[in-house]
Amino acid sequence: MAGVLRRRLLSVAASSIVAGSAARASGEQQKVSQAEAQYQDRPKNGLSCATCALFRPPAACAVVSGIISPNGWCRFFDLPD
Ligand code: SF4
């Protein structure tokens, strides 16, 4: 399941990178928007950002932009290996 999620994430991230070439040229780091990630500020099915391999404490994510709650969740949730 983690492999499928990673492939989906890479696909979306690649699309975002192509679409955001102007921002990349200015040095801005490319991340998926919270809307595109279907981010919510509460857990889903007992899963939350605090246990996701992509969470970057205290309130960031490696792939989703903006402030990320440890209690949040998005469709790219990925359990650590
Ligand atoms: S579930 Fe993981 S990938 Fe999604 S916003 Fe939270 S830390 Fe980032």
Span 21-72, pLDDT tens digits: 444 444 347 999 999 999 999 999 999 999 999 999 999 999 999 999 999 9
Cβ burial of 62 (10 Å; 0-12, 13-18, 19+) is middle
Q: Does residue 25 form part of some domain?
A: yes
Domain membership of residue 33 as a residue range = 2-61
Q: Does residue 27 form part of some domain?
A: yes
7 has a pLDDT exceeding 90: no
Q: Does residue 9 form part of some domain?
A: yes
Q: Does residue 16 form part of some domain?
A: yes
Q: Based on the structure, what is the number of domains in the chain? A: 1
Alpha helices in the chain (DSSP H): 2-19, 21-25, 34-37
Task: Enter the pTM of the model.
Answer: 0.71
- pLDDT, one tens digit per residue, over 12-29 is 554 554 444 444 444 347
Q: Does residue 69 form part of some domain?
A: no
- State the Cα angle at 63 between 79 and 45, rounded to 5°: 40
Q: Does residue 48 form part of some domain?
A: yes
User: Residue 5 corresponds to which tokens in the numbers above?
Assistant: 């999620």
pLDDT recorded at residue 17: 46
14 Cα to the center of ligand 1, angstroms:
17
Substitution site in 44, 51, 74, 75 for ligand 1 pocket (most atoms within 8 Å of beta carbon): 74
Q: What percent of the chain has pLDDT over 90?
A: 62
Gap between the Cα atoms of 38 and 66, Å rounded? 13
Beta carbon of 39 within 6 Å of any ligand 1 atom:
yes
Beta carbon of 72 within 6 Å of any ligand 1 atom:
yes
Of 54, 53, 57, which is closest to residue 32 (Cα–Cα)? Answer: 54
Q: Does residue 81 form part of some domain?
A: no
Q: Does residue 18 form part of some domain?
A: yes
